Amino acid sequence: MIRNLKIFSIFNSKGTPAIMVKIQTDNGSYSASIPSGTSKGKHEAKELPVERVLKNFSKIRPRFVGKDERDWRGIDSLLKELDGTENFSKLGENLSLSISIACARAAFENEIWKIHKPRMGMEFPIPIGNVIGGGKHLGGTDWQEFLVIPYGAKSPGEAVEIMVSIWASLGEELRKKKMLIGKNVENAWMTKLDDLKTLDLLSDVSEDWKVKLGIDFASSSLWDGKRYVYKKLGKSLTPSQQVDFITEVAEKYRLYYLEDPIQEDGFRQFMILNHILGKDCIIAGDDLYCTNPERLRKGIKNKATNGIIIKPNQIGTLSLADEVVRIAKERGMIIIPSHRSGETEDDWLADLSLAWDAPLIKSGITGSDMTKLNRLIELWEDIPEVKMAKLPL
Ligand code: PGA
Ligand code: ZN
């Protein structure tokens, strides 16, 4: 039974306030803290400022005391009911998700990878690591994240080693070329090189490793309502020119993973791109879907993508994110659980990626994000008969 709930104001990796909730049950104390995005989608659930969350918490706290934590889905329904809006704009997704995850932690005594019945031979997700960055995450490039996917790794530990080696070599190369600006919000390198020269360098440096390359274009931040505006490359593209440009880049650099290559409401261009490239490349919708079941259904109907980013704080409770995962998997979509750029040291994303049988997980490769990857390394040792997932395409 839930005996007590507490809330604290903590700080995330960007140094901005975040919250942590702690739930006390008869069995122990269980906490959860929630990350925050920098390049958020406009259809995400609402994150509220910490002071408002603290006030909201004191109003709703009594409703949870005495409840059975094992009914974590019931707790999530209560959160939805107390909020009463479509997008958690009254309570704040940061409040609802922190209670939701802390409660699931209590229900499974910290092992939330068990929310779905564990099977023998569990597959561990291949990490996707951000090595060079730009866009709203700061950096020189227009595109937000240049990504490596170490598909040849035999364990999560080896995957981290490969990603970090590539990241370190890139830093060294950029320094030698005098093209290094520094590190951005996700600890990815910021470079003076333009987006295409960055891809040339990334292709060269990663040549010796068994990795696939990807980009999170975060295209909504290039979109001015009519055109995609590239400051660094000096281009201004219509939606159909953007489709052509992305196709050309994906083919030339043999990209495997394309996240948000089109702005968040461009279902039609997503569909065209998915038609052209979707057999060989993962076309993942992040801002396009915002982990929202209605938007996902629209994407499925239109064959807009073959993959979906899952960020539980875009929707507000674990049960709601779980439902989105269920719908996506039922329709053969590739799910990619993802961190946010303002992370906490909490590692629940790693557990959920296992519970959901995700073939990939998107997480940073240094700083606070190491906690997720370290959790995968820990679970790899703890769970019998494990193997790394295969690339989904
Ligand atoms: P975020 O976005 O800064 O909102 O976390 C990261 C991403 O676009 O994947
Ligand atoms: Zn993204």
* Annotated catalytic residue, options 232, 311, 362, 372: 311
Same domain, 101 and 169: no
235 as an active site residue: the answer is no
Answering whether pTM is above 0.95, one says: yes
The residue from 111, 141, 172 where one domain ends is 111
89 and 198 co-located in one domain: no
Q: What is the pLDDT of residues 51-109, one digit of tens each?
A: 999 999 999 999 999 999 999 999 999 999 999 999 999 999 999 999 999 999 999 99
Tokens of 206: 């990663």
Q: pLDDT above 90 covers what percent of the chain?
A: 97
Mutate to test the pocket of ligand 1, among 142, 340, 372 (most ligand atoms within 8 A of CB): 340
Atom of ligand 1 nearest to the CA of 218: 8
Pair (145, 241) in one structural domain: yes
HSE-CB of 139 using CA atoms within 13 angstroms? 30
**Domain limit, last residue, from 82, 111, 140:** 111
What integer pLDDT is reported at residue 119 of this predicted model?
86
Average pLDDT rounded to a whole number, residues 197-211: 97
Distances (CA, A) of 39 to 64, 136, 216, 326: 33, 6, 11, 26
Task: Give the CATH number for residue 17.
Answer: 3.30.390.10
Position 14 scores a pLDDT of 95
List, for residues 104-119, the tens digit of each pLDDT value. Answer: 999 999 999 999 998 8
Angle at 64 between CA 60 and CA 67, to 5 degrees: 165
Average pLDDT value over all residues in the chain: 97
Domain assignment present for 28: yes
Residue 367 has pLDDT above 90, yes or no: no
Shared domain for 241 and 365, answered yes or no, is yes
- 99 and 228 within one domain: no
Residues contacting 313, CB < 8 A, separation 6+:
34, 35, 36, 37, 44, 45, 47, 93, 94, 97, 340
Query: Does residue 51 share a domain with residue 197?
Result: no
Q: How confident is the model at residue 340 (pLDDT cuts 50, 70, 90)?
A: very high
Domain limits for position 96: 2-111
Q: Say yes or no: 184 and 83 in one domain.
A: no
Question: What's residue 368's pLDDT?
Answer: 81
Q: From the candidates 145, 186, 264, 343, which is the catalytic residue?
A: 186
| Amino acid 364: pLDDT | 87
Tell me: do 187 and 239 sit in the same domain: yes
Taking the centre of ligand 1 as the mean of its atom positions, its distance from the CA of residue 2, in whole angstroms, is: 33
One domain, residues 56 and 196:
no
Is 99 in the same domain as 136? Answer: no
Residue owning tokens 């557990």? 351
Q: Residues 40, 67: one domain?
A: yes
The arithmetic mean of pLDDT across residues 180-203, rounded, is: 97
